[in-house]
Structure 1
Amino acid sequence: MSFGLAVRKKAPSVTFTLALRFSLVLALAVLSLAVLFTFALKRYIYNSQSRELKDSAEELALALKTNAQPEQKEKIPYYITYAVYQKESQEILETNDPFLPLLEATKGKTKKFISKNYFIDGDLRILYFAMEEESDEYGSLVIQTALNLDTDSSSLFLRGIPVIVLLAFLPVLFVSFLTALLIAKRSLAPVVKMTEAAKKISSTNLGELLPVKQKDSSAENISTGNLDELDKLAVTFNDLFVRLKKDFDRERGFTSDVSHELKTPLAVILGQANLLLRWGKDDKAQLEKSLGIIVEEAESMNAVITNLLHITRLENKKLLPQKEKFFLADFFARLKEEVQSLSPDAKVSVSVSKDLNLFTDREMLHQIFLALISNSIKFCKEKNLELTFSALQKDTKTELCIVDNGPGFKAQDLEHVFDRFYRGDESHTRSAGGAGLGLSIAKALTQSLGGTIVSFNAESGGAGVRLELDN
């Protein structure tokens, strides 16, 4: 029993393939030009030979009519043979080549005549022209001129052209292949560098970027065409790696935050369960207290998971907005009632035109403002809550704002208030309550509506959030 190992053939390099294809294209181009040149030259020589044969036949006809002396026929080129004979009897009246066969009139055209084994030592190949001429003395005559194709220099040159082209073509093809190989290798050198750099990039070092020849490789230069195609490719991949790094970093932070958020309630539940095991059977007060804490922490965990699933569905476009047109004055009136039911002492003011309407998903927008209101209530516990709702139309956009009278955002927190589980300090304290997902949900909902959301500090010192949506 024999075992064989399959040998995988190594694929040819792109450099070699490009050089070979270029050489083949060049070879086809050279051959095509050579064929066209040969055909044109052959046609030119054929026309020249035909013209010479006709002119010589006409000279002979003129000489016969005028009874010209033999020296007057010296105008006929030495390499042209001729014969003058009677058409009916085929009696030769005059010729400079006794071996020239007598052929019929060609009716104004030149023709080729080939006879195998015509001579003892070979064939006869001629190009000839024959015309009829009437003579008072001899009757109907045929004047025939011919050109031996085996001895004519032009014909011999035409036969040698294919050999010349072949001998010149092979070194040209070889040189063109080497030149194309060098050019392709130098042109693809950046691709080789990018490939080597890409091999070193993994999820742990996404900060490594592909090399770019141009120093300024911003996205603006890509759009204005200041970079070549390879630089554009490298910059595009670099942008992809940057986005992937942000996603990986966000996912790592997300995993860490989820672990942190679930670790605390699980620890509390475990601690209360141990208390129940020790004293819960005999101490009813402890039993009720521990069960209440366990339920509270379980509800907190359920809220975290529910909110995370909600954000995921929004980001994956599984919740599509159902848009409708409605008046913002009615929308803010509903919010005012809900705020006063949640915080009876709260003061709510609304600044909006009665006829200002908006075309969007009313319920999604309602969820956004409920999350913002909940956040304001959470951080304004030390004094009576004051909220201001406002809306203003700007061209094709509508700007909606909510401002409270709380402590506002810290400067270092403004860029992160919409991040998941962010509570305004590194320790993620639970003193303010909630899981730090309300504003994240508000941002995801705003993006689903095709709008933008930003946080700011009002001049009065309170926290503000501004939404911008299409009309």
Structure 2
Amino acid sequence: MKLRFMLPSIKIRIALLYSLIFSVILIVLNASVLYGLKYYLIYQSFADISNQAETILNKLSVVKGDIDFSNENLVFSIPENTYLKVIDKNGKVVYKSRETEDINIPYKSDINIPVKIEKDGMHLTYINEIYNRDGKIFYIQIIKNMESQYLFLKLLFVLMAFADAVGILISLIAGYFVTRQAIKPVDYMVKEVNDIDARKLNKRLKVYGNKDEFTRLAVTFNSMLDRLEDSFRRQNTFISDASHELRTPLSIIKGYVDILDRWGKYDKNVLQEGIEALKKEEAEMEKLIERLLLIARGDSRNLKLNKETFILNDILNEVIKETSMLNRDRNIVLNMDDEIDIFADKSLIKELLRILLDNAVKYTETDGKIEVICKREGQNTVIKVKDDGIGIPSDEIPYIFDRFYRVDKARTKETGGAGLGLSIAKIIVEAHKGSIIVDSKIHKGTEFTIIFPF
């Protein structure tokens, strides 16, 4: 059985993180102050005993071979927490400032060097000096007990520890409330987003004037909702239109099947007519489904391109020849540069050209002129398909690439197609990182310009 640990909320985690950072900084600063003060007091003690030793050396005098300790200034100049020892060269203590104190520290080492030691639970600093006059040698030892300084450091440590604890507690509480206030917009976003579903895609997050990270997040989320809503709308329209387009051939197929089932199978003429009609509708449905699949792949950015380098002139000649044979009452003219090579998907480029030419033929009257131009312009390959047909109203140009859209609403499926051609054309062009431009005037014709990067 696996145990699951619930993480605290982000407000608590941020507050804990801030409190931890504040605690570390506070502890490091306080420790630095304590250690700095400790070593300052030690060095101050070194300075005191060094000055004390120098003063005593200047005040000492030898009378009849012994040190004269009758000088009152010698005794009064020694502070209460400082001890003086005078030792002769044989190791005999000839003078002690306090009889009750018996601190044994080596006196022949570390001459004229202040030293800090821990001895018998006491914090001591001492310095050894040599008195050498008139052949007389004595060792002078000054010892200072730092008990009061260390007591002050302990008291300061307790106060700082208490202040740290209070500071950490305050930082934790303040951090929680500040964090809660700071991420309040997130709570609002969570509440609003939970209310959004497929039926409420028109709902948007409120964006306030402050240009902070949460505002940018709200703007980005609203932008995503715009794209999602548009995608759902286009999907619903696509499904509705596709269902409508498929319903017609299915109705025809169902009608012929019913006729053949009842009595047509006994009449050879009716049987042959029904078979040909079924084949035709099957081919139309297959073509429609293939185009729908191509559009679906384009929408999902899953359209695979089998790119290769080929001569565009050959493809143009082939497509124009096919279109001219099927539409001998149209005058199709080709103007192109010599040997224009292009790196693209040959089958898709051929489909693109067929769509544009078929579209031009449908909207050009008998004996009308269709001109195809192919040339290089700088680093681009440009293909233009111009006709002198009925043209496209300016207010309808933005919609001609929508699926199942027909400019001439009076055209039937047989004369006007399913309305998918230009949608597929745009998908093919954009898949090749190109662009498509439309220029049209009523009763003067239409010009489609395709631009492919070289």
Q: TM-score, normalised by structure 1?
A: 0.85
Distance 1:289 1:326, change over 3 A: closer
* Match in the other structure for 1:207: 202
CA contact (8 A) 1:59 1:73 kept: no
SS in 2 for 1:345: coil
Structure-2 residue corresponding to 1:141: 138
Q: Distance in 2 between matches of 1:399 and 1:432?
A: 29
Tell me by how many angstroms 1:34 deviates. Answer: 0.6
Aligned counterpart in structure 2 of residue 52 of structure 1, from 48, 53, 56: 48
Partners in 1 of 2:298 and 2:233 — Cα distance? 20
1:124-179: CA deviations, max 9, x gaps? 55332222332437x332211122233x3x33211212101112112211221222
Question: In the TM superposition, what are the counterparts of 1:82-161 in structure 2 within 5 Å?
Answer: 82-105=84-107, 106-107=109-110, 108-115=113-120, 125-136=123-134, 139-150=136-147, 152=148, 154-161=149-156
CA deviation after TM superposition for structure 1 residue 340, in Å: 2.1
Give the match for residue 221 of structure 1.
none
Q: Can you list the C-alpha shifts for 1:56-87, whole angstroms capped at 9, x where unaligned?
A: 11211121248693226644444422121224
* Corresponding position: 1:407 with 2:403: no
Q: For 2:203 and 2:139, how far apart are their aligned partners in 1? A: 92
**Which shows bigger deviation, 178-187 or 34-43?**
178-187
User: Mind listing any 5+ residue stretches in structure 1 that lack a counterpart?
Assistant: 1-5, 116-122, 216-226
| Contact 2:390 2:445 (8 Å CA) reproduced | yes
Q: Matches of residues 267-346 of structure 1 in structure 2 within 5 Å?
A: 267-315=251-299, 316-324=301-309, 326=311, 328=313, 332-346=316-330
TM-score by length of 2: 0.88
Report the CA distance between 1:321 and its aligned residue: 4.0
3-state DSSP class of the match of 1:203? coil
Shift of residue 365, structure 1, vs aligned partner: 2.3
Q: Is 1:173 the counterpart of 2:168 in the alignment? A: yes
Q: Structure 1's 113 and 349: CA in aligned 2 closer, same or farther, altered over 3 A?
A: closer
Q: Identity across aligned pairs (percent)?
A: 26
Over residues 272-293 of structure 1, what are the superposed CA-to-partner deviations in whole Å (9 max), with x where a residue is unaligned? 2222233314444333333332
Change beyond 3 A, Cα 1:428–1:19: farther
Q: Describe how 1:234-253 pairs up with structure 2 within 5 A.
A: 234-253=218-237
Kept in 2, the 8 Å contact 1:321–1:364? The answer is no
SS of match in other structure, 1:146 = strand
Could you tell me which of 369, 378, 384 is aligned with 2:362? 378
Provide the C-alpha distance between the structure 2 equivalents of 1:231 and 1:394, rounded to a whole number of angstroms: 44
Q: 1:305 to 1:203 in 2, by over 3 A?
A: same
- 3-state secondary structure, aligned to 1:415: helix
Q: Give the aligned residue type for 2:126.
A: Y
Between 1:457-466 and 1:239-248, the stretch displaced more is 457-466
Please identify, of 242-251 and 57-66, the stretch whose mean Cα deviation from structure 2 is larger.
57-66
Q: Which structure 2 residues correspond to residues 340-359 of structure 1 after superposition, within 5 A?
A: 340-354=324-338, 358-359=342-343
- 2:379 is matched with 396
Query: Given the superposition, is the C-alpha separation of residues 42 and 425 from structure 1 closer, same or farther in structure 2, using an over 3 Å criterion?
Result: farther
Equivalent of residue 434 in structure 1, options 417, 427, 430: 417
**Number of residue pairs matched by the alignment:** 444
Q: Give the stretch that moved more between structures: 357-366 or 368-377.
A: 357-366
The 3 A distance-change label for structure 1 pair 246 and 427 is farther
Residues 1:75 and 1:85: Cα distance change in structure 2 (over 3 Å): same
Is the partner of 2:287 in helix, strand or coil?
helix
What is the root-mean-square deviation of aligned Cα atoms in Å?
2.9
Residues of 2 paired with 1:356 and 1:125: CA distance?
Answer: 96
* CA contact 2:265–2:271 (8 Å) conserved in 1: yes
The one of 11, 15, 18 equivalent to 2:11 is: 15
Deviation, 1:427, is 8.8
SS of match in other structure, 1:207:
coil
Amino acid at match of 1:299: A
| 1:6-35 alpha-carbon deviations (Å, 9 max, x no partner) | 997754211111111111110111000011
Matches within 5 A, 1:454-469: 454-458=437-441, 461-469=444-452
Return the letter of the residue paired with 2:114: K
In 2, Cα distance between equivalents of 1:72 and 1:323: 108
Partner of 1:118: none
Distance change in 2, residues 1:264/1:390 (3 Å):
same
Give the CA deviation at 1:413. 2.9
Partners of 1:428 and 1:255 in 2: CA distance: 21
Mark the CA change 1:259 to 1:65 in structure 2 (over 3 Å): closer, same or farther: same
- The verdict on how the C-alpha distance between 1:458 and 1:348 changes in structure 2, with shifts beyond 3 A counting, is farther
Partner of residue 364 from structure 1, selected from 348, 351, 355: 348
**Match of residue 259 from structure 1:** 243
3-state SS in 1 of match to 2:263: helix
In the alignment, which residue of structure 1 is the partner of 2:158?
163
Consecutive unaligned residues of structure 2, counting only runs of 5 or more, are: 63-67
- Asked whether the 8 Å contact 1:113–1:128 carries over to 2, the reply is no
In the alignment, the residues of structure 2 paired with residue 95 and residue 309 of structure 1 have an alpha-carbon distance, to the nearest angstrom, of 108
Secondary structure of the residue aligned to 1:465 is strand
